[in-house]
């Protein structure tokens, strides 16, 4: 974190599948197995292409967790010539790299071997901790058990994968659960040094879910949590809020220094009712501070060489591209 500087990454969002083995009560992203439940290859490639042409540096592969455990899914993924969604993700990541955009995958829970294998085509990866509390919203989501999430973040640390995580606020956790969640992240980072950013994301109610009428977290609560994150987390971890989900200009005053992935091309498929601000308008949100574009892998990890060798040329090229843009 550098004082006075607010960073963001220019991305395209690729929801490879909406099928998911979890059933989080706040989520509208997940869908049943049905026609169209896997994003066609032609759409992935055209989105990547549009991304590259629009100056995006990050291909965000975010999709349902362990869709292969849902009845009938295998048939759909086989139509594309793959046995698992992760094989599809691997192959599309290779295409992304070839086209000139860096993969960042958040596929939910992966085991050590899956992480190691996918890590070889990713510049960084992510998984929201959400919360360390056992909450009713997660009672049908085996992958949201805190110990499972923490276990994967520990594996990512062992594998030296630059990592994004975060808290989802207002899903039934208490203020002390938020403290505990941030302390867990701090302790993981102390041991492995791999956490590059922590997202403080506010729950947004979705029509048709059981949490449709659930109250949203107040601005003060979000701000208090950002303050708490600043106290608990070391300075080298960025604190991110998504600028489409809350009044970012007020939250920046609370200690935020990153606006995450913003897309000039794709919508936020997790929160489709919240459009991204235009990149040009981000400057209005941040007041007197300076807006700086970044890659999905932070400079610190580039310097340490925490990326697969095959990405070395591309990281170098994109770093030059964004520096060039910032001096224009
Ligand atoms: O567009 C989005 N980006 C999301 N991102 C992407 C994030 O903003 C950027 O990919 C990172 O800042 C890397 O540049 C996530 C990344 C993670 O690893 C974990 C969770 C999220 C959540 C979202 C999200 O809901 N919408
Ligand atoms: C990709 C991330 O999106 C978040 N997510 C899922 N559903 C919602 C919602 N209704 N409001 C805000 N964030 C949500 C979760 O934190 C998930 O990990
Ligand atoms: S938030 Fe992620 S894990 Fe939970 S149901 Fe939605 S897609 Fe699945």
Give the model's confidence band at 327: pLDDT under 50 very low, under 70 low, under 90 confident, else very high.
low
Decide: 55 and 10 in contact? Cβ < 8 Å.
Answer: yes
Could you say which ligand is closest to the alpha carbon of residue 60?
A: 1
What is the whole-number distance in angstroms between the Cα of residue 35 and the centre of ligand 2?
24
Taking only the tens place, the pLDDT of each residue in 147-186 is: 999 999 999 999 999 999 999 999 999 999 999 999 999 9
> Which of 65, 143, 211 to probe ligand 3 with, by most ligand atoms within 8 A of CB?
65
Decide: 61 and 93 in contact? Cβ < 8 Å.
Answer: yes
What is the whole-number distance in angstroms between the Cα of residue 257 and the centre of ligand 2?
20
Q: What is the pLDDT, as a whole number, of residue 320?
A: 97
Q: Is the CB of 64 under 6 A from ligand 3?
A: yes
Give the model's confidence band at 2: pLDDT under 50 very low, under 70 low, under 90 confident, else very high.
confident
CA distance 80 to 88: 8
Domains observed in the chain: 5-327 (3.20.20.70)
Query: What is the distance in angstroms between the CA of the first residue and the CA of the last residue of the chain?
Result: 23
Q: Which own/partner contact pairs does 271-279 have at CB distance under 8 Å and 24+ positions apart?
A: 271/204, 271/242, 271/244, 271/245, 272/28, 273/204, 273/206, 274/204, 274/244, 274/245, 275/244, 276/243, 276/244, 277/243, 277/244, 277/248, 279/8, 279/10
Arithmetic mean of pLDDT, 19-30: 98
Say which residues have a Cβ less than 8 Å from residue 215's Cβ, sequence separation at least 6.
Answer: 170
Give the model's confidence band at 1: pLDDT under 50 very low, under 70 low, under 90 confident, else very high.
confident
CA distance 198 to 192: 15
What is the whole-number distance in angstroms between the Cα of residue 27 and the centre of ligand 3?
6
Q: C-alpha angle 142/41/71, rounded to 5°?
A: 35
Q: What is the pLDDT, as a whole number, of residue 325?
A: 82
Percent share of the chain, pLDDT over 90: 96
User: Ligand 2: which residues within 6 Å by Cβ?
Assistant: 26-27, 62, 128, 130, 168, 201, 203-204, 206, 270-271
211: its two tokens:
């949490």
Indicate which residue's Cα is closest to atom 6 of ligand 2: 27
Q: C-alpha angle 227/231/233, rounded to 5°?
A: 110
Q: What is the pLDDT, as a whole number, of residue 207?
A: 96
> Which of 11, 132, 165, 168 to probe ligand 2 with, by most ligand atoms within 8 A of CB?
168
Note the helical H segments in the chain. Answer: 41-53, 73-78, 85-99, 112-119, 146-158, 175-192, 219-232, 248-252, 279-285, 299-303, 312-326
Is 56 marked as a binding-site residue? no
Count of beta carbons in the 10 Å neighbourhood of residue 231: 11
Q: C-alpha angle 193/197/202, rounded to 5°?
A: 140
Decide: 32 and 19 in contact? Cβ < 8 Å.
Answer: yes
Could you say which ligand is closest to the alpha carbon of residue 294?
A: 1
**ipTM given for this complex:** 0.95
Task: Please tell me the pTM assigned to this model.
Answer: 0.97
Could you say which ligand is closest to the alpha carbon of residue 104?
A: 1
Count of beta carbons in the 10 Å neighbourhood of residue 95: 17
Q: What is the pLDDT, as a whole number, of residue 276?
A: 95
Indicate which residue's Cα is closest to atom 1 of ligand 3: 27
Could you say which ligand is closest to the alpha carbon of residue 26?
A: 2
What is the whole-number distance in angstroms between the Cα of residue 295 and the centre of ligand 2?
22
Count of beta carbons in the 10 Å neighbourhood of residue 58: 27
Taking only the tens place, the pLDDT of each residue in 103-136 is: 999 999 999 999 999 999 999 999 999 999 999 9
> Which of 201, 245, 274 to probe ligand 2 with, by most ligand atoms within 8 A of CB?
201
């Amino acid at each position: 974190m550098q004082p006075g500087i607010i960073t963001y990454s220019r991305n395209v969002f690729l929801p490879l599948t909406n099928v998911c083995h979890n059933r989080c009560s706040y989520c509208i992203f997940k869908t049943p197995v049905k026609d169209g439940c896997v994003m066609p290859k032609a759409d992935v490639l055209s989105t990547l292409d549009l991304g590259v042409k629009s100056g995006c540096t990050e291909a965000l592969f975010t999709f349902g967790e362990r869709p292969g455990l849902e009845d009938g899914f295998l048939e759909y993924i086989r139509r594309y010539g793959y046995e698992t969604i992760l094989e599809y993700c691997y192959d599309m990541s290779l295409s992304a790299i070839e086209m000139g955009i860096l993969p960042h995958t958040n596929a939910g829970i992966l085991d050590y071997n899956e992480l190691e294998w996918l890590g070889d085509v990713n510049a960084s990866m992510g998984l929201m901790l959400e919360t360390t509390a056992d909450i009713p919203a997660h009672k049908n989501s085996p992958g949201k058990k805190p110990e499972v999430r923490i276990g994967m973040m520990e594996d990512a640390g062992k594998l030296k994968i630059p990592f994004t995580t975060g808290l989802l606020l207002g899903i039934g956790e208490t203020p002390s659960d938020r403290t505990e969640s941030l302390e867990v992240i701090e302790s993981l980072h102390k041991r492995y040094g791999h956490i590059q950013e922590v997202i403080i994301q506010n729950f947004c109610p979705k029509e048709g879910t059981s949490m449709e009428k659930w109250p949203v977290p107040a601005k003060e609560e979000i701000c208090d949590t950002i303050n708490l994150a600043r106290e608990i987390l070391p300075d080298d971890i960025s604190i991110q809020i998504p600028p489409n989900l809350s009044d970012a200009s007020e939250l920046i005053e609370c200690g935020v220094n990153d606006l995450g992935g913003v897309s000039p091309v794709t919508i936020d498929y997790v929160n489709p009712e919240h459009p991204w601000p235009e990149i040009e308008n981000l400057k209005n949100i941040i007041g007197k501070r300076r807006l700086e574009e970044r890659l999905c892998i932070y400079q610190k990890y580039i310097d340490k060489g925490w990326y697969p060798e095959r990405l070395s040329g591309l990281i170098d090229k994109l770093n030059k591209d964004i520096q060039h843009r910032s001096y224009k």
